[in-house]
Amino acid sequence: MTDWVRQVLERYGQEVVVRSEAGEASIRAFLQPVAERDEQMRTAPTPLGWKDGRLWLYLGRTALGEQDILEWNGLTFRVRSCRPYYIGERLSHYWAALEREQEAAGCGN
């Protein structure tokens, strides 16, 4: 890991909780919505209502698996994909595309 990426994450990153098969960990990462060119809200109708189809960007030092769950600022995310990025032969950071996890509708409550 390049030291400058670690320093930037420590200083400017957000506190994110990652839940995986190995357990739960609190890490520093950048997490933000992916900017859309026309800035329109990306939603799609489903039988249960509207689904927010916007993606979120993750930049961090921790590799994420497709079964991992991220929690940040009261929001929950699922991992769509994650890739390592290198500078030369040294690992710089991981990049991931995330989607918001939809809350299950309560039935009979």
Longest dimension (CA), the chain: 56
Average pLDDT value for residue range 17-35: 93
Distance from chain centroid for Cα 51: 17
pLDDT, tens digit (0-9, with 9 covering 90-100), for 76-99: 999 999 999 999 999 999 999 999
At 6, the amino acid letter reads R
| pLDDT top residue among 79 and 38 | 79
